[in-house]
Structure 1
Amino acid sequence: MNMFASTLYRIMEWITRFAYVQLLWICFTFFGFVILGFFPSTAAMFAVVRDWIRGKTDIRIFKTYWNYFKTDFFKANLFGIPIISITLLIGINVYYIQIDISEHLTWTYIPLFAFMFLFTLLLFYLFPVFVHYDLKIFKVIKNTFLIMLISPIHSLLIVISLVSLFWLMKSIPALAFIFGGSIYAFITMWLSMHAFRSIERKKGSV
């Protein structure tokens, strides 16, 4: 019975942690009026999750989150500029193709959707690389791209995990509001750190 109670307590403790970080992510995003808050708030969420994965489960969540948020506020917003720019560019191209479905544009579908697929994979690694390595913005993007290319198995596992998570939260929409962002951060951060360690071991064996 004690073991059951202890296990139940641990489960409830982790549920509370994920829900709390999700709440902080939402609040700090709006604290920065969304535009200036989304990227530093998301980076702070990934950084807290990274601490958990590294065994620092006893950290003071609000204090740690706030420290990451304010420390990386400007860098994270600069980091967001190329991401937003590429996303807008993709959106414009997709919109243009939809309103002009003439045959001479059909050849653009394959390269555009291939680029969209690669960019989506890149997004999965961007925040984990941003919080795990102390790099300049350009090197964050460059290293993220290289890690994505040489980690196909981890990329596949991320896709499978997130698709499963999507269908679960589609079935129970309330879960997306309570845990969506924090669970996404945990899955991508955990698998990304495995990719980082794999790459570091390969470098060490050379």
Structure 2
Amino acid sequence: MNNMNSKLYSMFEWITRIAYLNVIWILLSLAGGIILGFFPATVSMFAIIRKWLRGNTDFPLFRTFWDHYKREFWKSNRLGFLVDGVIVIFIFDYWYIFNYHPELIWAQILLFALTLLFSLFIFYLFPTYVHFDLRVMAILKQAFLLMLIHPLHTFFISVCLASLFFLFYLLPATAFIFGGSGYAFITMWLCMNAFHKLHERTPS
């Protein structure tokens, strides 16, 4: 019975911890007006989860998050401007093709394929940022390379996230409580495994 109580306590502790992390992520994203707050808040959230996955849980959550947020504010926003620029290009391309050239089926298929590739690349972007000490352009290159050489991990991330989003669809309130942190936990966990395999292959 004591063992069961201990496991239940640990489970509820992690649920509370992940929910609290999600609240902090939302608040500090809003604090930066979303445009300037989203990327530093998201990078900070992934950095926190990376600490947890490496066995480090004994630290003040908000203060550690805030320290990462301040330290990575400008670098993460430089990355954000590049990513947002690509998204704007995609939106313009969709608008242009579907409004002026709907007959170009090949262009629509190509655009869908590029959108899918970009979405898979995003899975690795934030984990790569917090795991490797790289410049912005090197982060983009490394994340894209990891996506290409780890198709199995990409598949597992996609399946796990699809299951998570299905849960959010069934229980919309959980999206507000665990939306960002749930996504980050799944992608960081699987990407950490991919990073470990990469380190094993790399000669020391």
Measured against the shorter chain, the TM-score band is over 0.9
- Runs of 5+ in structure 2 lacking a partner? none
How far apart are 1:113 and its partner, in Å?
1.2
2:25 aligned with 1:25, yes or no?
yes
Other structure's SS at 2:202 match:
helix
Please give the TM-score of this superposition, normalised by the length of structure 2.
0.97
How far apart are 1:91 and its partner, in Å?
0.9
Q: How many residue pairs are counted as aligned between the two chains?
A: 204
How far apart are 1:116 and its partner, in Å?
0.6
Aligned-partner residue type, residue 164 of structure 2: L
Other structure's SS at 2:47 match:
helix
Aligned to 2:165: 166
The percent of aligned pairs where both chains have the same amino acid is 47
Q: For the aligned residues, what is the CA RMSD?
A: 1.1
| Higher mean displacement: 47-56 or 111-120 | 111-120
Aligned-partner residue type, residue 106 of structure 2: W
| Higher mean displacement: 12-21 or 91-100 | 91-100
Determine the C-alpha separation between the residues in 2 that align with 1:102 and 1:165.
34
2:5 aligned with 1:5, yes or no?
yes
Aligned to 1:144: 143
2:71 aligned with 1:71, yes or no?
yes
Determine the C-alpha separation between the residues in 2 that align with 1:204 and 1:63.
37
- Runs of 5+ in structure 1 lacking a partner? none
Please give the TM-score of this superposition, normalised by the length of structure 1.
0.96
| Higher mean displacement: 38-47 or 91-100 | 91-100
Other structure's SS at 1:204 match:
coil
Determine the C-alpha separation between the residues in 1 that align with 2:129 and 2:102.
41
- The aligned runs of 1:43-82 (5 Å cut-off) are 43-82=43-82
Q: State the Cα deviation string for residues 90-128 of structure 1 (Å, max 9, x = none).
A: 11111222223542x222122211111110000000000
Q: State the Cα deviation string for residues 57-81 of structure 1 (Å, max 9, x = none).
A: 1221111101110010000000101
Q: State the Cα deviation string for residues 3-59 of structure 1 (Å, max 9, x = none).
A: 111111101100110011000000001111111100000000000000000000122
Determine the C-alpha separation between the residues in 1 that align with 2:121 and 2:64.
27
Aligned to 2:83: 83
